[in-house]
Amino acid sequence: MIGRTPRSRYHPRMDPATQDLAPIRDALLAERAQLLEEIGEAIVAPGQMTYGSQAAAASQVFAQQRDLALRDRADAQLVLVDEALARLDGGTFGTCVRCGNPIPPERLEALPWAARCIDCQRVAPRDR
């Protein structure tokens, strides 16, 4: 199913700058594989509507729109995961992209793809 709750597979409570980043990379790669699988799932188009089947057609259209929205969410999540992998490769993983301060390990535990510390994430929508 396309819709699911992202889950973290990163649990060590250590500073990313001083720890072995292999488990984080593994978690991000597993998340990436799951997202690619979700994105690859077929979305069923509504069937041809016949007289008296407006309710069935509406249900089909709703399901298609839901699946498209979930695919869009998976696409956006995939971008975040790919960016986190690039930060790992670039040596900047665990550092806020906005302020340059370390991202707390608890935040990275919950969201290994987090690019900003909590304070910067709060103001991120205003930065656009």
Residue 62 lies in a domain: yes
pLDDT in tens, 33-54: 999 999 998 887 766 665 667 7
Domain count, the chain: 1
pLDDT in tens, 64-93: 899 999 999 999 999 999 999 999 999 999
Residue 102 lies in a domain: yes
The CATH number that applies at residue 76 is 1.20.120.910
Q: Which of 9, 63, 14, 5 is nearest to 38 (CA)?
A: 5
pLDDT above 80 (res 13)? no
- Give the 3-state secondary structure percentages of the chain, helix then strand then coil, rounded to 5: 55, 0, 40
Residue that wins the pLDDT comparison between 80 and 109:
80
Residue 49 lies in a domain: no
Distance CA 90, CA 113 (A): 14
pLDDT at 50: 59
Residue 46 lies in a domain: no
Residue 63 lies in a domain: yes
Residue 11 lies in a domain: no
Residue 73 lies in a domain: yes
pLDDT at 49: 62
Q: Which residues of 21-51 are buried (b: 16+ CB within 10 A; e: fewer)?
A: beebbebbeebbebbeebeeeeeeeeeeeee
Q: Which of 128, 69, 56 is nearest to 98 (CA)?
A: 128
Residues spanned by the domain of 64: 22-40+57-127
